[in-house]
Amino acid sequence: MNYAKQVRICEVSTRDGFQTLPPIAVADKVKLLDLMADAGIREIEVGSFLGERSGVDSMRSTPEVFQKMNRRPGVVYRALLQTPAGMREAADAGCPKVKINISGSGTHYRLMTGKSIAEGMEGFREIGAIAARHQMTLLGSISLAFVSPYDGWIPSQDIKEIIRRFIDCGATEISLNDTAGMAFPNQVRERFLEMKAEFPEIRTWAFHAHNTRGTGLANVLAALDAGVDRIDSSLAGIGGCTVFKNASGNIATEDTVYMLNGMGIETGIDLEKAIKAGEFVESLVDPSKTDSYIQRLEKIKRQGNGIE
């Protein structure tokens, strides 16, 4: 296995985790961001800049969160967006890094935005121009980069065309996302290897996994074996797509850190502090929306029961 010795985990609970849930108070988001930084998390997806988009009320407070949060030295604070209007909001908020998101599935992207993939990519050039003026880092992100519940297996050529457009607008990192949690480890590994061979100019590759069908951590290992060293995860395993019915969450940060730290892969994250941050997340949301093995074990311990 060809695992990196160091892996950066990006925490996405304040964006992907909260986006399908009732709005969380700005003060609670700011407190959670502090708990993440205290735990040693060094990249955080704070929220989404919606631009003209509507229907994601939980992300409306993102500009205010950027205004009020404590920006810790050494922590990269980023946000997700899909349009030039969202990019202008991000620049105004002083967001240093943005994740431009588009789907590999035409049906999925139209359900999210009412646009075709080609129409969505028309905004990339303006997004890149704004980023260049404000010296913002661009991460190109592809939802359903492997398989879609609507369109089945996503052809490699479709993914390559999107990546080319990301590179043209100045993206220096690429994230392939298993948004529906439908991919298998061999598919994840092979797709990353193919894309890395096609685009050697991209040095930083990330994997965004959902655990809908219980394959999330196995897929993480497959991505690591393909040389990926950036992994998205969400405290308490919260999250889900805004258009999927009954979508479950991302892989849990606590579970991911437990696995990687135990394998001797350096994450820089203190597991006990990450657990405390996850407990705070659990206090903010419906318990049925959480999904972390480590948090379940912690509950058993707090009840005075042993674990063998």
In the block, residue with structure tokens 């303006």: 126
Residue 118 neighbours by CB under 8 Å, 6+ apart: none
Q: Which amino acid is at 106?
A: G
Q: Does the annotation mark 241 as catalytic?
A: yes
Enter the DSSP assignment of 32: H
How far from the centroid of its chain's Cα atoms is residue 29's Cα? 17
Q: What b/e string do you get for 70-95 counting C-beta neighbours within 10 Å, with b at 16 or more?
A: eebeebebbbbbbbbbbbbbbbebeb
CA–CA dist 233, 268 (Å, integer): 15
How far from the centroid of its chain's Cα atoms is residue 24's Cα? 18
Q: Are strands 230-233 and 152-153 parallel, antiparallel or unpaired?
A: unpaired
Q: Are the C-beta atoms of 153 and 190 separated by less than 8 Å?
A: no
CA–CA dist 59, 47 (Å, integer): 6
> What would the DSSP string read from start to end of 58-103?
GGTTHHHHHHHS---TT-EEEEEE-SHHHHHHHHHTT-SEEEEEEE
Active site (catalytic) residues: 241
